[in-house]
Structure 1
């Protein structure tokens, strides 16, 4: 590689002004990230921009590590470049995630429904949403004897709209995508769980067989709580035949539901909402017992250890049993990921790897990494990193049906659409999730 290529760096971080100059030994201007480009309109273009920024990130971080080895500290300018590229990568990843989400959304407008019954239900629901005409819905649901329809008001969303909201939420909320999801018709799901198996032992051929102890069972309860949204529309908007009312409701509700669910599944207190896994009792993993989540301490309050900081991540991985480790994923927010992105192994390879293709998650030490902004920032005694088999460890309970009640009276001239969904959640296997705590012990 020529000297010119060795000394060449990108010029400006995306989002900053181009043409910023910094001094070099050769007296030439350096670049610190790809040039500012227009917001990409395709997933492929966004992915290419993100990978270009990652290459710049590796170059500057290698220089920072070299300065630390030579001078025991990194140059201020290099650290500043590092922070700016890190922030730029986060912004580009957000753009990429949004484009992948948009691409994943299936179209509405009734093309997914089949059969005369589905078409009849859709037409009746459209009449109810636009004009409040509930006669057709009453006939259809009475004829079907739907167990999801209660006498206290409200009608079930047609199957297509209900599933559309569910699909969008599963993309937005990492917990819903990673965890087990169970649909129930009752208000509470009770699940027995065996915390210890049957005892056994070896015996001689003619020796007596004493009775062994039975396995220990605990009953876990997952009540469903009501999540609601109430978008409003004018009657003029509803009278406009060009407006897809079902798509409008889905777009209004899905992000709100996703944000509320994602927060509750991670840090909800269990009062009128699901209980997040960070709200359970935590203990040092060496003292772990059923009913609590084990954590491993970094040894430093509010930070990683100064030497070999990545060893703790490896210890957290192997704190899981082999069965859970095979299906494990890391979970943290973007700021924590920005710190870990700098870590290398003994051979100089980065532990954090970008997605292989657009739409796939980044990996850390070979395990998928899910970004959840509800995870806390690194601070003293914070539980900022989780790793585990979330499908085995956390259970999300959905009450069947999303319910909509049309209210044209309470906020005239607007028509309110009181949309509700009953959701619960909690830890179902306490040994399947481990935490990293930023504390001395």
Structure 2
């Protein structure tokens, strides 16, 4: 099925789900068990279509990259200034350092390390790796991403306190002196991140896709999950400071809003109490942030949010009927992360609303790969260790509101 047909199917599934919801809303009642089952089935099927669209798009991108790297194809974006280096990189992945000519080894050498096997991936490979990371970790695509090229850390100036309002005074008056304007700094220092992947020698030799794609995809996935986990719940100790970690250096408990739960789901779905809490959370965030704000939930939490109604009996969740109009909760779109909190115990965090451009990610310049040959010779495999350096944190807490479970049932 073509991507265009998949998108049309997605739109129809969303429209069918909305029709079921509208029937119940018009009748002033909740969904019947049969309607709810059909409703959930339609949305699950639409989620599967979304995943299929993403995979199909990724395959198209990989094929486009392959054609760009093909020496028999006309020069394209992937062939300007990088053919020799990418050819050297491919030779290294298949045959190791011994397979490189002297010129190729110089092109990829990361320094004086003749025995360790470290080589620096060419810039094109690094960009492809980060692109895969972007697809797998939604927060990275919304955050502000910086790359360090020379320094070891990035200092972010902050306004810790502001001036009071100006004073009404006379024509010649200047008002009282105000020393309330204070500035501080938050420092992001990339921390090492590493992952090992094993690939069979035969697969590297005969695979239809290039060996760099095999290594890139597996390393990208494992680096992506480690980063996403830290972006959500990292404690800031030799790793990023996560959104769901209460900290004076990131988002403090002053930005927490209670959401009514009963340790398993949101409370009083029929009366909409928890929906009212979400409305309170929305307007705890200043309206200046609303145009770029998004909700962040785990999929299991979203399953409960989809059933919430406001005081007028309207569902707070609305499906997007067009590909350019996402699903919304109280007219604000949302993203899902498998690493966001998913439990409803008292005081657990259950979600977040914010402008994620105020979550900063800092990547070090180089992505290094070490090739291990003898260690896995008995299993006819070659090991690859990918290393990167990443740090991240909220640089301002005001653009975020964190939702905290409040168990209201005795």
Specify the TM-score bucket, using the shorter chain as the normaliser.
0.7 to 0.9
How many angstroms does 1:370 deviate by? 0.6
Residue aligning to 1:178: 142
Aligned partner of 1:112 among 45, 52, 77: 77
Structure 2 portions without partners, runs of 5+: 70-75
Q: 2:350, 2:404 within 8 Å by CA — same for their partners in 1?
A: yes
Distance 1:171 1:305 in 2: 34
Aligned partner of 1:219 among 185, 199, 211: 185
Residue aligning to 2:124: 160
Residue aligning to 2:266: 304
- Report the 3-state secondary structure (helix = DSSP H, G, I; strand = E; otherwise coil) of the residue aligned with 2:351: strand
How many angstroms does 1:391 deviate by? 0.7
Question: What TM-score results when the alignment is normalised by the length of structure 2?
Answer: 0.81
CA 1:137–1:405: 2 relative to 1, 3 Å: farther
Distance 1:376 1:83 in 2: 25
How many angstroms does 1:126 deviate by? 1.9
Q: 2:82, 2:124 within 8 Å by CA — same for their partners in 1?
A: no
Residue aligning to 2:72: none
How many angstroms does 1:423 deviate by? 1.4
How many angstroms does 1:365 deviate by? 1.9
How many angstroms does 1:388 deviate by? 0.7
How many angstroms does 1:422 deviate by? 1.4
Q: 2:144, 2:361 within 8 Å by CA — same for their partners in 1?
A: yes
Q: 2:295, 2:354 within 8 Å by CA — same for their partners in 1?
A: yes
Determine whether 1:194 maps to 2:159.
yes
How many angstroms does 1:216 deviate by? 1.6
Q: 2:14, 2:320 within 8 Å by CA — same for their partners in 1?
A: no
More helix by share: 2
* Aligned counterparts, 1:268-417, within 5 A: 268-281=234-247, 291-292=252-253, 294-302=255-263, 303-306=265-268, 307-309=271-273, 310-345=275-310, 349-358=314-323, 361-381=326-346, 382-392=348-358, 394-412=359-377, 413-417=380-384
- Report the 3-state secondary structure (helix = DSSP H, G, I; strand = E; otherwise coil) of the residue aligned with 1:405: strand
Aligned partner of 1:90 among 28, 44, 47: 44
Aligned partner of 1:424 among 376, 383, 391: 391
CA 1:50–1:350: 2 relative to 1, 3 Å: farther
How many angstroms does 1:418 deviate by? 1.2
Distance 1:438 1:188 in 2: 36
**Size of the alignment, in residue pairs?**
381
Distance 1:278 1:271 in 2: 15
CA 1:57–1:401: 2 relative to 1, 3 Å: same
How many angstroms does 1:292 deviate by? 4.2
Distance 2:198 2:165 in 1: 63
Q: 2:276, 2:310 within 8 Å by CA — same for their partners in 1?
A: no
How many angstroms does 1:173 deviate by? 0.9
Distance 2:234 2:41 in 1: 28
Give CA deviations for 1:144-196 in whole Å, capped at 9, x if unaligned. Answer: xxxxx454552221222211111121122111112111111344322221122
CA 1:172–1:243: 2 relative to 1, 3 Å: closer
Structure 1 portions without partners, runs of 5+: 1-40, 143-148, 283-288
How many angstroms does 1:387 deviate by? 0.5
How many angstroms does 1:430 deviate by? 0.9
Residue aligning to 1:100: 54
Residue aligning to 1:434: 401
CA 1:238–1:374: 2 relative to 1, 3 Å: closer
Give CA deviations for 1:320-377 in whole Å, capped at 9, x if unaligned. Answer: 1222222110111222222222334566654322234337632222211111122222
Distance 1:423 1:265 in 2: 11
